[in-house]
Structure formats: C-alpha cells, structure tokens
Amino acid sequence: MKLRTQITILFTLITATILLAFASVVYYSSKHSREREFFNLLKDEAITKANLFFEANVDTLTLQSIYRMNREVINEVEVAIYDRRFKLLYHDAVDIDIVQETEEMINQIMQNGELRFMQNDWQVIGITYTNNQETYAITAAAFDGYGYTKLHNLRQTLFVLSSLSIVVLYLLGLFLSKRAFAPIKEVISNAKSITATNLDLRLKSSEKKDELSELSNTFNEMLDRLENSFDAQKQFVYNISHELRTPLSAIIAELELSLGKEKNTQEYRTAIENTLNDARKLVKLSNSLLDLAKASYDPTEIKFKPLRVDELVLDARHQVLRLNPTYSIDIRFEQNFDDDQKLTISGNQYLLTVAFANLLENGCKFSEDSRCMVSIEVDKSDVTLKFIDNGVGISEEELENIFTPFYRGANKSISAGYGIGLPLTQKIVQLHKGSIRVKSAQGQGAEFCVIFECLPSTL
Ligand code: ADP
C-alpha cells in the first residue's frame, strides 16, 4: 500500500475515533442528565400532589379526574400515597397501577427515605412525606416521552453528523496527502531520469528550508560523491591500462625484432633480458594493484593482531635491501623501551610491511646517497615513525598530489615507478586508524611521519 494511502487511512481512523468518542460522551451524558432531571421532576410532582391531598384537602375524585384528563394530553405522573402500615390512602388510577407497590417496597422507602428505579421504560420514585407528625410513603411514576424523543433525535443527529464528517475527513485526507506528496513524486520522477550515463544531472532544490529540499540537497551531494568516484574509477582504469600498455608494447616490440632476422647468441640474450625486465615491471605493477585492492577492503575482512613496529620496520628494511643491495637504511630509537608493549600496535603484518617498505624505498631511490633513516618514538599512547631522507625533496605544489593514485612528481626520472606506492601506503595507514603527514621542500629531502595508536599495556 502506498504511503499516501496509509497516511490518509491513518488520519481518517484517528479523527474518526476522536469524533466517535466525542459523540459517545455527548450522547451518554445527555442520557444520564435526562434521567436525573426526570427523577427530580417526579419528586416535585409527588410532593405537589401530596400537598394538594393533605394540605389543600382537595378531594380524591377531583385529583383522580385531573390525572385522567391530563393523561390524554401529557405524560402525567401517576402518584400513590401509603401510610406506614401499607394502607393505600390515595391512588391516581388503581385500574392502571403501573408501579404495583408491595409492602416490602413501602418499607424500603420508609427506611431509606427515597427509592429510585426503572420499570420497563417508566421511571419510578418513592419518597417519604410528613404531615401532622405522621410519615407517609409516596410513589410517583411516569414515562418521559419528550425526553426519550429528544434523546433519539440527538442520537440520529450525532450518527449522521459523524458519518458525514468521516467521509469528509477521508476526502480531505486524500486531498491533503496528494498535495503533501506532490513534491516527493516530482523528486521520484526526477531521480528516475538520473542514470550512470548522465550522472551530471541533479534534482531541483528549492530555496525553502523544508525536509524535501534537505532530501534533494542530500541526494545531490550523494550524486556529487558518486560522480567523483565514477570519474576517479574511470581515471584509475585508464591509468592502469596505460601503465600496462607500455611494458607490454616494449615486450612485443622486442620479441618481434628478435624474430625478424637471425641474431647471434649475445643479441638474443640481450633481447631476453630486456623482455624479462619488462615482465618483472608488469609483475611489480600487478602486485602493487593487488595490495591497493587489499588495502581498500572493509577493515573487518582483514586479520589484525598485535605487532611490534620495530620488527615490522626491520622486515621492511630487509625486503628493500634484498632487492636493492646498494641502498642503506638506518633505524634509530629515540628512547629506551623498557616496556615492549609500548611498541606494539594492532595491525596486519603483510600490509604494514608493504607500507613501510614503500616509504623506505622512496627515501632511498629519491636520494643521491641512496640513504634513508627511520626514527621510532613513543609517547603515552602513540608510536611515531619518521622516514627521513636527504634526497631531492618534493615541491610545495606536488605535495598536494603525491597521494593521488598514479601521480608521479617531476623527480620521476630519477627512478622507475608507477605512482601507486604512496596512495597504497596512505590507505594502509588509514586502515590501521593511523595518520600520515609529509614535510618536504625542493632539494631539502623529505620526512614522512606516520603515527599509530599503541595497544594498551597489559601490565
Ligand atoms: P613512485 O615512487 O612509484 O613514483 P609513489 O606513489 O611512491 O610513486 O610516490 C609518488 C611521487 O611522490 C613520486 O613520484 C615522487 O615524485 C614523490 N615522492 C615520494 N616519496 C618521495 C621522497 N622520499 N622524496 C622525494 N619525492 C618523493
């Protein structure tokens, strides 16, 4: 069921319930007050007739004929007067006798002073009356035809009014919900027209500060992010294809050349070595891409365990030096560490070694002396690693871009690479909830500072 219909039905149900509760309260309080007022009227009638009988000494026949005459026109009250011993002193019409008093009823009236009850739709009241120090019991009964008609009319009016109001409320609800949902429908049809091929389209957003314009703005912001991410992906794929094409073209050209005309053994060796070099570059690139993909995983899918940063740096150093024996890497501890726990962080061994190896390799390859130094420092809760070199450095404009995938600075001619190392390192550090900062200037070396939170000490 559409939200619009749901809201209309809910709105109608709530208002109808309130309306019906209100109508019921009106009806039952009217019913109650009619009953109370008519009992009071009966009481007054009983006293008036007793006064006529005892005080004004109006004779029984006159009183009875008045009763019979009035009975034709109005709902006259039928009165009976008894003494203490259940002796009937007066009765308006013994032949009609609606109440049919019993001795027990008269005793009850004498004891309680008053008795009220219903007999079919007739209301009956019994009261005591004192005259010349003698107490009498008087009963008075009548049918409140006028009151019942009024009550019946009220019930009908309330029923018709409530039914009409519910229909009107439902129609009103439909109309209002249609008006309220019109802008949402517009947003939906707008949103439907946005696809992967026209991600530049945006929803119309009004100047109003209401929820709908907030929704449109939020949706537009999401589209901005999606568009950026789509563009970045496209650029990424373009860069990968470009990077793969260069060594592959070189391999093909080398092999075609070798096949072209007969060569001596040395020439063949050189061709194979060149091809092997290009193939190695391809493997390095695909490994870096694989690592980048791993580092982009959801952190919950990567295994973390307590690791000592100094051991990770040593592993990374070993890896770099194995491939580049001419490089030189120093490790310096800024403090004496009595508590090993201070050097322990929660991390993924493989990814952290890749990140540190990238920073060490960059430090050496962009320095004339091929030297790089790592300083390890801890404070209360963090461990800070600084990868320092005295190489060519990075200019201010380039500093903004070095973490962008495939970006290579002006100094790229110094050494081969793909521009994946730093973005990969940054991803890995972020995955470990750490931070990475760089300080550098053209010709003045570079300092990459990486900070991780230590594991709390178990001591
Ligand atoms: P690659 O090293 O393959 O070029 P990186 O992503 O590791 O790619 O680095 C991106 C760029 O940042 C490099 O091309 C280089 O211009 C610059 N860079 C990184 N580290 C250093 C450093 N230690 N000294 C000077 N420049 C650096």
Q: Does the pTM exceed 0.75?
A: no
What six digits make up the tokens of 237? 């794929």
Nearest atom (ligand 1) to Cα of 410: 16
Whether 421 is in the pocket of ligand 1, judged by its Cβ within 6 Å, is yes
User: Ligand 1 centre and the CA of 366: distance in Å?
Assistant: 7
Whether 402 is in the pocket of ligand 1, judged by its Cβ within 6 Å, is yes
Distance of CA 291 to the CA centre of its chain: 36
What six digits make up the tokens of 305? 């365990």
Whether 412 is in the pocket of ligand 1, judged by its Cβ within 6 Å, is yes
Whether 408 is in the pocket of ligand 1, judged by its Cβ within 6 Å, is yes
Q: Which pLDDT value is given to residue 417?
A: 85
What six digits make up the tokens of 435? 């931070």
User: Ligand 1 centre and the CA of 335: distance in Å?
Assistant: 29
Whether 141 is in the pocket of ligand 1, judged by its Cβ within 6 Å, is no
Q: Which pLDDT value is given to residue 38?
A: 94
- At what angle are helices 211-260 and 145-192 packed, to 10 degrees? 20
Rounded distance, CA 410 to CA 430, Å? 26
Whether 409 is in the pocket of ligand 1, judged by its Cβ within 6 Å, is yes
Rounded distance, CA 382 to CA 425, Å? 19
- Among 284, 362, 371, the mutation site with the greatest number of ligand 1 atoms within 8 A of its Cβ is 362
Show pLDDT as tens, one digit a residue, over the chain (459 residues).
788 888 889 989 999 999 999 999 999 999 999 999 999 999 999 999 999 999 898 889 999 988 888 877 777 889 999 998 999 999 998 887 888 889 999 999 999 999 999 988 889 999 999 998 899 999 999 999 899 999 999 999 999 999 999 999 999 998 998 888 888 888 888 888 888 788 888 888 777 778 888 888 899 999 999 888 888 788 888 878 887 888 899 999 999 988 888 888 999 999 999 999 989 888 988 888 888 787 776 777 788 899 999 999 999 999 999 989 999 999 999 887 766 778 899 999 988 999 999 999 999 999 999 999 999 999 888 999 999 999 999 999 999 999 998 899 988 888 888 898 999 899 899 989 999 999 999 999 999 999 999 988 654
User: Ligand 1 centre and the CA of 408: distance in Å?
Assistant: 6
User: Ligand 1 centre and the CA of 253: distance in Å?
Assistant: 29
What six digits make up the tokens of 380? 């209360």
User: Ligand 1 centre and the CA of 202: distance in Å?
Assistant: 38
Whether 433 is in the pocket of ligand 1, judged by its Cβ within 6 Å, is no
Q: Which residue, by CA, sits nearest to atom 13 of ligand 1?
A: 408
DSSP-assigned states of every residue in 204-256: ---SS-SHHHHHHHHHHHHHHHHHHHHHHHHHHHHHHHHHHHHHHHHHHHHHH
- Among 240, 364, 422, the mutation site with the greatest number of ligand 1 atoms within 8 A of its Cβ is 422
Rounded distance, CA 29 to CA 35, Å? 10
User: Ligand 1 centre and the CA of 412: distance in Å?
Assistant: 7
Q: Which pLDDT value is given to residue 2?
A: 82
Q: Which pLDDT value is given to residue 41?
A: 93
H or E element that contains 267: helix 265-295
Nearest atom (ligand 1) to Cα of 407: 10
Q: Which pLDDT value is given to residue 458?
A: 54
Whether 389 is in the pocket of ligand 1, judged by its Cβ within 6 Å, is yes
Whether 387 is in the pocket of ligand 1, judged by its Cβ within 6 Å, is no
Contacts for 247 with CB less than 8 Å, ≥ 6 apart: 278, 279, 281, 282, 285
H or E element that contains 156: helix 145-192
Whether 434 is in the pocket of ligand 1, judged by its Cβ within 6 Å, is no
User: Ligand 1 centre and the CA of 206: distance in Å?
Assistant: 46
Nearest atom (ligand 1) to Cα of 389: 23
Q: Which residue, by CA, sits nearest to atom 3 of ligand 1?
A: 417
Reduce the DSSP state of residue 446 to 3 states and report it: strand
- Among 402, 412, 439, the mutation site with the greatest number of ligand 1 atoms within 8 A of its Cβ is 402
